[in-house]
């Protein structure tokens, strides 16, 4: 099975790509339009430099080759979602080409990434189609992969990781209209490929591809042939349906866009400082702090903010001690902290430094971190968390068989350790729980 994706990412610019209409929000249908984005005769586009800058950042993220100069083309087609009947896009000179994205150890080759404007949206209502041009002219980057993805679940995994990295580099909001749309190309061994157009949402991408894989396999098994075609994904019925025979690039007429001229991409690329990608940070955590790959990934995948916090703590108290607090009480209360991780960072570092200097013990440090992160009252946490010994004894009384099991194997203690960790919600460090549980079980089985 070979899967290739074309991912359309709306870019978070304030205005549209070629006019000054707002790119976000709406004042109802066709509230954000002007003669420019409506392609009225006599109007001329002017390029939004911010869109090019973001395009370059994404091309860098995807390890693409960035051209020295680029220009736009008019992709001529007749469909009411673009009322001037051509879409301004990049054809010969994409903003990036020949890149690669590493999904874990697997390289997914990136054919190209190009800038283009979004067309308007069409809503069908009975026999009538309503067109809203608010979306028309919003900048997009279209990322095209080689067919290197080998399963629907891998496609979802790839998109999840890619989106996380894109969000880190260009601050794309998590939801709203600026979501991504994906065209999914899939072929079974030796067969023609089909393209499922305009799938939104990562779950739907996986579902649409799974449906196609099953459908195509059935057709081939029953002696049929897959015809190259474009299909639609019906989110309600969770099926794909044939739309039209696949058009080829040569079916479109591309002509150079004369009004925008040549863009000096090199000078824009040289002037941009890009943030470190999550992959780079994962590598750096291993190299600079001696973390193993799994741990570095776990921290970065939770959040780049957690990685940042880890570094700040590690610089003061060393990587190993920092890891104890970051993977313990900080990770277990991450949901509460995430929104204000920056604001609480210095206080968190201070608490761990107090522990390092011996001014507070393990339990106090855990409780103070939890109180700071959750905003709960310290006294409340102490009384609820209670005495660690009491919590362990309670867990043992709820699992009395563990005492006999422990006589046979020390591993039985893990059941109690797991239960206590869950019950105490990160109040105690895991090493404290392990130590105390073993001590109490040894006393009981003595
Ligand atoms: Zn406009």
Question: What is the model's pLDDT at position 334?
Answer: 87
First and final C-alpha spacing in the chain: 59
Burial class, 223, CB count within 10 angstroms (exposed 0-12 / middle 13-18 / buried 19+): exposed
Question: What is the model's pLDDT at position 177?
Answer: 44
Length of the chain measured in residues: 446
Run of H or E including 123: strand 121-125
Ligand 1 mean position, distance from CA 24 (Å): 12
Q: Can you tell me the distance from the alpha carbon of 357 to that of 96, in angstroms, rounded to the nearest whole number?
A: 51
Which residues are 104's β-sheet partners? none
Ligand 1 mean position, distance from CA 77 (Å): 20
Domain boundaries, the chain: 2-271, 278-445
Question: What is the model's pLDDT at position 296?
Answer: 93
Which residues are 34's β-sheet partners? none
| pLDDT tens track for 134-188 | 999 999 999 999 999 999 999 999 998 898 888 878 877 665 444 689 999 999 9
Ligand 1 mean position, distance from CA 230 (Å): 31
Comparing 20 with 428, the larger pLDDT belongs to: 20
Ligand 1 mean position, distance from CA 12 (Å): 16
Question: What is the model's pLDDT at position 114?
Answer: 97
Can you tell me which residue has the tokens 């590690």?
A: 314
Ligand 1 mean position, distance from CA 193 (Å): 37
Ligand 1 mean position, distance from CA 15 (Å): 9
Ligand 1 mean position, distance from CA 288 (Å): 49
Ligand 1 mean position, distance from CA 52 (Å): 18
Ligand 1 mean position, distance from CA 31 (Å): 10
Residue 247: pLDDT band with limits 50, 70, 90: low
Whether the Cβ atoms of residue 194 and residue 186 lie closer than 8 Å to each other = yes
| pLDDT tens track for 25-68 | 777 999 999 999 998 989 999 999 999 999 999 999 999 999 99
Ligand 1 mean position, distance from CA 127 (Å): 29
Question: What is the model's pLDDT at position 400?
Answer: 83
Burial class, 257, CB count within 10 angstroms (exposed 0-12 / middle 13-18 / buried 19+): buried
| Whole-number percent of the chain with pLDDT over 90 | 51
Ligand 1 mean position, distance from CA 134 (Å): 8
Q: What is the pTM of this model?
A: 0.71
Structure tokens at 203: 């779950």
Comparing 391 with 353, the larger pLDDT belongs to: 353
Ligand 1 mean position, distance from CA 16 (Å): 7
Instruction: Say whether pLDDT at 353 is over 50.
Output: yes
Question: What is the model's pLDDT at position 386?
Answer: 55
Residues 6+ apart with CB under 8 A from 256: 71, 72, 73, 74
- What sections of 265-387 are H helices per DSSP? 265-271, 278-289, 293-302, 304-317, 319-325, 331-332, 334-338, 341-356, 362-374, 378-385
Please name which of 57, 64, 53 lies closest in space to residue 94, comparing C-alpha atoms.
Answer: 64
SS3 369: helix
Run of H or E including 383: helix 378-385
Ligand 1 mean position, distance from CA 178 (Å): 17
Q: Can you tell me the distance from the alpha carbon of 367 to that of 239, in angstroms, rounded to the nearest whole number?
A: 51
Ligand 1 mean position, distance from CA 18 (Å): 7
Whether the Cβ atoms of residue 54 and residue 23 lie closer than 8 Å to each other = no
Ligand 1 mean position, distance from CA 283 (Å): 43
Ligand 1 mean position, distance from CA 36 (Å): 5
| pLDDT tens track for 173-231 | 665 444 689 999 999 988 889 999 989 989 999 999 999 999 999 999 999 888 888 99
Ligand 1 mean position, distance from CA 20 (Å): 6
Q: What is the mean pLDDT of residues 83-103?
A: 93
Mean model confidence pLDDT for the chain: 88
Ligand 1 mean position, distance from CA 35 (Å): 6
Ligand 1 mean position, distance from CA 37 (Å): 4
Ligand 1 mean position, distance from CA 96 (Å): 26
Residues 6+ apart with CB under 8 A from 235: 204
Structure tokens at 143: 């990322």
Structure tokens at 140: 């997009």
Ligand 1 mean position, distance from CA 314 (Å): 49
Residue 397: pLDDT band with limits 50, 70, 90: confident
């Amino acid at each position: 099975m070979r899967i290739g994706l074309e991912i359309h990412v709306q870019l978070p610019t304030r205005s549209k790509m070629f006019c000054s209409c707002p790119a976000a929000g709406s004042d109802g249908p066709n509230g954000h339009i002007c003669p420019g984005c409506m392609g009225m005769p006599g109007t001329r586009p002017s390029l939004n430099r911010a869109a090019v800058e973001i395009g370059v950042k994404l091309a860098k993220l995807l390890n693409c080759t960035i051209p020295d100069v680029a220009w736009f083309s008019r992709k001529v087609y007749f469909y009411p979602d673009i009322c001037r009947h051509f879409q301004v896009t990049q054809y010969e000179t994409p903003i990036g080409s020949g890149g690669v994205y590493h999904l874990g150890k697997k390289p997914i080759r990136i054919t190209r990434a190009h800038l283009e404007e979004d067309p308007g949206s069409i809503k069908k209502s009975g026999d009538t189609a309503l067109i809203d041009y608010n979306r028309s002219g919003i900048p997009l980057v279209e990322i095209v992969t080689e067919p290197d993805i080998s399963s629907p679940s891998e496609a979802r995994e790839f998109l999840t990781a890619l989106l996380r990295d894109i969000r880190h580099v260009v601050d794309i909001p998590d939801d709203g209209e600026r979501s991504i749309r994906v065209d999914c190309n899939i072929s079974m061994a030796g067969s023609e490929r089909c393209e499922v157009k305009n799938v939104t949402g990562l779950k739907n991408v996986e579902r649409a591809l799974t449906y196609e894989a099953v459908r195509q396999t059935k057709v081939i098994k029953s002696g049929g042939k897959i015809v190259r075609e474009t299909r639609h994904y019906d989110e309600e019925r969770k099926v794909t349906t044939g739309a039209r025979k696949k058009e080829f690039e040569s079916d479109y007429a591309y002509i150079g866009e004369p009004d925008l001229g040549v863009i000096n991409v090199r000078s824009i690329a040289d002037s941009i400082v890009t943030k470190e990608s999550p992959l780079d940070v994962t590598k750096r955590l291993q190299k600079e702090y001696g973390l193993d790959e799994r741990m570095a990934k776990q921290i970065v995948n939770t959040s780049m903010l957690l990685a940042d916090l880890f570094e700040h703590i590690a610089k003061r108290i060393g990587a190993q001690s920092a890891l104890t607090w970051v993977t313990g009480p900080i990770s277990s209360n991450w949901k509460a902290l995430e929104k204000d991780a920056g604001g609480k960072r210095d206080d968190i570092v201070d608490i761990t430094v107090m522990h390092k200097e011996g001014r507070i013990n393990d339990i106090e440090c855990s409780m103070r971190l939890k109180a700071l992160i959750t905003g709960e009252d310290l006294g409340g946490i102490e009384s609820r968390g209670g005495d660690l010994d009491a919590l362990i004894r309670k867990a043992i009384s709820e699992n009395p068989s563990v005492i006999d099991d422990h006589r046979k194997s020390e591993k039985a203690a893990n059941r109690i350790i797991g239960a206590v960790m869950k019950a105490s919600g990160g109040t105690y460090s895991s090493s404290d729980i392990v130590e105390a549980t073993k001590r109490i079980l040894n006393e009981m089985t003595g």
